[in-house]
Amino acid sequence: MSYLDQLGKGATPEKAAGQPQPAAAFPTNQDENPVADEVASAPPTTVDLRREYEDAGVREVLEELDRELVGLKPVKKRIRETAALLLVERARRRLGLAHETPTLHMSFTGNPGTGKTTVALKMANLLHRLGYIRKGHLVSVTRDDLVGQYIGHTAPKTKDILKKAMGGVLFIDEAYYLYRPENERDYGQEAIEILLQVMENQRDDLVVILAGYADRMDRFFESNPGFRSRIAHHIDFPDYSNDELHKIAVGMLERQNYHLTEDATAMLSRYIEHRRGQPHFANARSIRNALDRARLRQANRLFEAETGPLDAAALSEIAAEDIAASRVFLQKPGRNAEYVHPESERGDVAAFGNGEEETRP
């Protein structure tokens, strides 16, 4: 029995009705929710969902999600549905209709670069606003952070991470690496057992999000039924369309105060088409890397041209030639003979170090 269960028993009814239990456990001055206090004075008999929606700041989070993330329609829809469910659950709890914390653990599946980490951040924020987690921070880990290298190393490592994630969201990227069926003495199993135990016993304290490629996650869940049954929400992230990737690219550049010339815009569309057909395509991440290299070439071009003083416009303009120099255009899609990594560059430009595709942000 967790200590929070024991707390729940001693809590006064007003308090239990006023705030969701997790938020009530260790309230802090910074986090005080004026709305909850107001309601706490008298046990409510009706709940205005619309008002709750506004007051909890759910709308802000959802609008931010819509504004900042291009595409991802099904994901946004799922998050909206989840938010509605949690809002209703919270209202039910206030009226004393629900007592159990709903299972909030999730799995995000999708190809690389489809925004899983970004959405996980927003999700943490959303859960925090709704009072299901107390702090709302995201701890992002991979196998290396959880699994030790020798006997007795794994449990303290996993527990350390869990301690840090308490009150927030634990995001396990490429979770399937935790389970290695080919090595039966792999320490990953130990980490899985600890995780499952905490996921079950401390649902009030921690939300776990598992992320990874769809097919490998499916296999992972098949071999670990414990995880499948403890995860309530499966969200699938679709690949971006070419238009969406284009929009993302323009947005990224705008945020860095760059803009594309007209030719460059057309060239970027062609680039995206070509890039998609080639190996190691990682959606938005590939685009970000491509833009980083375009900036590199732009800097080189400006430096070598030496046309005298440059103004702000010249410094922030990406021309078609900056994109056209990419090796992606030299390769026909699907041709595997004499394969060269499309994102590797020739000559001295490479010496600056170009974004390796597999590098995680």
In 231-256, which positions are buried (b, 16+ CB within 10 angstroms) versus exposed (e)?
Answer: bebbbebeebeeebbbebbbeebeee
H or E element that contains 63: helix 58-68
State in angstroms the smallest separation of the CB of 212 from another protein: 25
Please state, in angstroms and as integers, the Cα–Cα distance from residue 146 to each residue in 118, 152, 197, 259, following that order: 21, 12, 15, 42
Is 125 or 331 the residue whose CB approaches another protein more closely?
A: 125
State in angstroms the smallest separation of the CB of 188 from another protein: 21
Q: Partners of 211 in the beta sheet?
A: 108, 173
Is 162 or 290 the residue whose CB approaches another protein more closely?
A: 162
Residue indicated by tokens 């996921």: 199
State in angstroms the smallest separation of the CB of 49 from another protein: 28
Q: How many CB atoms lie within 10 A of CB 29?
A: 5
Please state, in angstroms and as integers, the Cα–Cα distance from residue 63 to each residue in 54, 56, 259, following that order: 12, 13, 26
The first and second tokens of residue 346, run together, are: 């020739």
Is 103 or 201 the residue whose CB approaches another protein more closely?
A: 201
Binding site for another protein (CB under 8 A): 3-4, 6-7, 10, 25-26, 28-30, 134-135, 137, 156, 159, 162-168, 202, 204-206
The first and second tokens of residue 321, run together, are: 């030639």
44: left (phi over 0), alpha (psi -120 to 50) or beta: beta
State in angstroms the smallest separation of the CB of 162 from another protein: 7
CB-based contact 26:52 (threshold 8 Å):
no
Is 51 or 163 the residue whose CB approaches another protein more closely?
A: 163
Is 18 or 167 the residue whose CB approaches another protein more closely?
A: 167
Position 172, amino acid: I
State in angstroms the smallest separation of the CB of 164 from another protein: 6
Is 104 or 253 the residue whose CB approaches another protein more closely?
A: 104
Is 111 or 202 the residue whose CB approaches another protein more closely?
A: 202
Return d(Cα 234, Cα 110) in angstroms, integer.
Answer: 11
State in angstroms the smallest separation of the CB of 161 from another protein: 10
State in angstroms the smallest separation of the CB of 40 from another protein: 17
Pick from 86, 47, 79: nearest CA to 63: 79
Burial (CB count within 10 angstroms: exposed 0-12, middle 13-18, buried 19+), residue 258: middle
Q: Partners of 173 in the beta sheet?
A: 211
State in angstroms the smallest separation of the CB of 170 from another protein: 11
State in angstroms the smallest separation of the CB of 79 from another protein: 23
Is 30 or 307 the residue whose CB approaches another protein more closely?
A: 30
Please state, in angstroms and as integers, the Cα–Cα distance from residue 276 to each residue in 86, 241, 328, following that order: 38, 10, 10
Q: How many CB atoms lie within 10 A of CB 210?
A: 24
CB-based contact 143:154 (threshold 8 Å):
no
Is 166 or 320 the residue whose CB approaches another protein more closely?
A: 166
